[in-house]
């Protein structure tokens, strides 16, 4: 899929404030610093679209972007449907209060379970680390909720040869202990552009 345009629309504190659910949307979530903003900017080929390393845990908002906004230019209609890309607030910040943690949980739970046009959730996992409890717990929760999700292993360029494959395998093995059907997974590097085509083609197939 080609990305012709990508623009910020709005930030919402609760799913009911999100834009009308009139087109499919694909959301990105992960631990703070996992490389979510960098991945979004790489996918959209637009530096500065999502804010890289904004103040950790400060604002917890659901950020909507519109991709390939056909309403603005009919000649682009050939390129396929427009869709929303959603940047969700990350988890695992060290410095957030119990109250903030709770509000994150209910905001995300509501969004994931009630946003009717959510086509897929991409859970980002840092490929440099062995499986982390916080990530496995989050993914297990998604499995229990039975929401469609895929995993994107980030920062592959930072690994020594073999380390990415090893960490990905360990994570997928850990998931397989609880779930019979492994979710789709991708390996990415925001620096090299790895995974861009694969993730966009996956979205295109769902769209």
Of the candidates 29, 25, 45, the one whose C-alpha atom is nearest the C-alpha of residue 119 is: 25
Stretch that binds ligand GDP, among 29-37, 70-78, 92-100, 108-116 (CB under 6 A): 29-37
Q: Between 147 and 186, how does the x/- string for binding to ligand GDP read (CB under 6 A)?
A: -------xx-xx----------------------------
Tokens of 170: 């360990």
Residues in the chain: 207
d(CA 66, CA 69): 6
Task: Pick the closer one to ligand GDP by CB: 4 or 136.
Answer: 136
What are 1's two structure tokens?
């899929």
For ligand GDP, the binding residues in 33-92 under the rule CB under 6 A are 33-38, 52-53, 90
Give CA–CA dist 123/145, Å, rounded: 14
C-alpha to C-alpha distances, 75 to 4, 26, 82, nearest whole angstrom? 11, 24, 13
Nearer to ligand GDP, 90 or 183 (CB): 90
Strand, coil or helix: what is 58? coil
Closest to ligand GDP by CB, 167 vs 207, is: 167
Cα distances (angstroms) measured from residue 33 to each of 160, 173, 207: 20, 24, 28
Cβ at position 19, least distance to ligand GDP in Å: 21
3-class DSSP state of 150 = strand
Tell me, residue by residue from 86 to 125, as one string, x for binding to ligand GDP by CB under 6 A and - for no binding: ----x-----------------------------------
Pick the stretch among 31-39, 71-79, 106-114, 171-179 that binds ligand GDP (CB under 6 A). Answer: 31-39
d(CA 92, CA 89): 10
Q: Which is nearer to ligand GDP, 36 or 196 (CB)?
A: 36
Q: How far is the CB of 40 from ligand GDP (least distance, A)?
A: 8
By the criterion CB under 6 A, which residues form the site for ligand GDP? 30, 32-38, 52-53, 90, 154-155, 157-158, 189-191
């Amino acid at each position: 899929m080609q990305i012709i345009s990508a623009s910020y629309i709005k930030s919402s504190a609760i799913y009911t404030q999100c834009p009308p659910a009139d087109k499919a949307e694909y959301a990105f979530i992960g631990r703070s610093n996992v490389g979510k903003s960098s991945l979004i900017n790489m996918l959209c080929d637009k530096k500065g679209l999502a804010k890289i390393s904004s103040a950790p845990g400060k604002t917890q908002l659901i950020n909507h972007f519109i991709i390939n906004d056909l309403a603005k230019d009919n000649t682009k209609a050939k390129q396929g449907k427009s869709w929303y890309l959603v940047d969700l607030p990350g988890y695992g910040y060290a410095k957030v209060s119990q109250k903030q943690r709770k509000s994150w949980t209910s905001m995300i739970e509501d969004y994931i379970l009630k946003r009717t046009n959510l086509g897929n959730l991409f859970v980002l996992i840092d490929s440099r680390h062995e499986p982390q409890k916080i990530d496995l717990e989050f993914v297990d929760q998604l499995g229990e909720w039975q929401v469609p999700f895929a995993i994107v292993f980030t920062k592959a360029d930072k690994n020594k040869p073999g380390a990415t494959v090893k960490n990905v395998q360990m994570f997928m093995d850990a998931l397989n202990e609880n779930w019979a059907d492994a979710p789709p997974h991708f390996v990415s590097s925001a620096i090299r552009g790895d995974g861009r085509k694969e993730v966009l083609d996956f979205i295109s197939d769902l769209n």
